[in-house]
Structure 1
Amino acid sequence: MRDAIVVRGGWEGHVPVEATELFIPFLRERGFAVEVHDRLDVYTDADRMSRVDLVLQCWSIGTVTDEQVAGLDAAVRAGTGLAGWHGGIVGSFHHNRYQHLTGGLFVHHPPGFLDHTLTVLPERAEHPLVAGIGTVRLHTEKYWVLSDPLNDVLATVTYEPEPDTPWREPVTLPAVWTRNWGAGRVFVSTVGHKVDDLTVPEIRTITERGLLWAAR
């Protein structure tokens, strides 16, 4: 049996409990023992983290210590998987080492929920996380992120210029990516502000596949 921990908390607007509860039964059905933490201190427990095969993190707009980040980073480098979505992973902490680990940082979204399309990159269409998925219509927050060129970007969203925007040409930004970090794997999806987003069939499929892909 593999070992997963769910680390959830921070801003309640991202419904960390309700969102992660969607995927805990899935992990258990796939043979994971799942333990839930509502504190970041577990990241500093080197013995515990050495036995974790997957960290599912949903923690937004929080504060993290150097020691906590160092513990998480060391675990991933040693083979622990890290996975998450939306602000629970790319809007979690303003900490350089953490952002280096995850490969991305949320910087902006237009007000409210927008109709937009997530597009799988044609050259990555056979990747196991997105196989069989071409485009996904969404009505939710549209994330603008800064991202690391080491990321393996699987899907994107595009911002078109408008009369009141400071950019003057279409901007295509990563929406789903993976990365290797030492012996570990990291999965990130920017979709998931609300439970309804995560139950869109294609998004749920990508997220479930991402959890399994990231796990040791």
Structure 2
Amino acid sequence: MQALVVRGGWDGHEPVACTELVIPRLRAHGFAVRIAETLEVYDDPAVLAASDLIVQCWTGGQLTEKQETHLVDRVHAGAGFAGWHGGIVATADAARRYQFMVGGRFLCHPGGFIDYNVDIVAEHPVVRGIDSFSVHTEQYFCHVDPGLEVLATTTFTGDHGVPETAGAVMPVVWLRRYGKGRVFVSTLGHSAADLALPQVADITERGLLWAADALSR
């Protein structure tokens, strides 16, 4: 199988360091990995057609209309699309078809780096055997599609100057079917250190495999 890893954008999310954590895991599962460090790779339908899985770690970018069309059409035709944190939900904010495909859009993270709980809320191979856990990182508040398959959530307290969020239960890990394609999103993974947490690392690895339809049941 072929994986295309698209990385870059805002350096604060450590796109190279983060993707270097997941690339060996993909290779261990038999993926040949191609790395692209420009969104211009989405201009090439042939590269996308050869990719069974597209892993995107690109915060703050914008897609041209052609790039969006090529990417979204390839996922709809059967490619997996996967990513974490700002690299997938805080990018291409003007691309409506992209946003619809991903199923969620980052809005804010009240309080910055805080302690909060991640609650596992589903029985699924991506999260099987993983208990709810605590993290110290950004708690993403997103606008999300109501039809997502949610695997993990977090509950906002209303602290940090945003009392209107009190009690809001927000998806943290979700899956989405898009045409013949599969989409995996996790809002965890601000940095390589966050992505290396055992629970986060396992969920991310399994999520990428699920998106590629390569996860053992």
Q: TM-score, normalised by structure 2?
A: 0.94
* 1:129-188 deviation digits (Å, cap 9, x = unpaired): 011112111000110011001210110011012484241741110000000001000000
CA distance, structure 1, for counterparts of residue 142 and residue 20 of structure 2: 26
Distance 1:168 1:136, change over 3 A: closer
1:185 to 179, 182, 187: 182
Q: TM-score, normalised by structure 1?
A: 0.95
Q: 1:98-109 to 2 correspondence within 5 Å?
A: 98-109=98-109
Which runs of 5 or more residues in structure 2 are unaligned?
none
SS of 1:42's equivalent in the other structure is helix
Q: Percent identity?
A: 49
CA distance, structure 2, for counterparts of residue 64 and residue 156 of structure 1: 29
CA distance, structure 1, for counterparts of residue 2 and residue 191 of structure 2: 26
Structure 1 segments (4+ residues) deviating >6 Å: none
Q: Which residue of 1 aligns with 2:49?
A: 50
Q: 1:82-101 to 2 correspondence within 5 Å?
A: 82-94=81-93, 95-101=95-101
Q: Which residue of 2 aligns with 1:39?
A: 38
> Do 2:13 and 2:191's aligned partners in 1 also have CA atoms closer than 8 Å?
yes
1:204 equivalent to 2:201? Answer yes
Q: Which residue of 2 aligns with 1:136?
A: 133
1:147 equivalent to 2:141? Answer no
Q: Which residue of 2 aligns with 1:117?
A: 117
Q: Which residue of 2 aligns with 1:78?
A: 77
- Report deviation, 1:50: 1.2
Q: Which residue of 1 aligns with 2:172?
A: 175
Q: Which residue of 2 aligns with 1:28?
A: 27
Distance 1:8 1:27, change over 3 A: same
- Report deviation, 1:47: 1.9
SS of 2:164's equivalent in the other structure is coil
* 1:101-120 deviation digits (Å, cap 9, x = unpaired): 10000001023310111001
CA distance, structure 2, for counterparts of residue 37 and residue 168 of structure 1: 38
1:64 equivalent to 2:57? Answer no
Alpha-carbon RMSD across the aligned residues, in angstroms, is 1.3
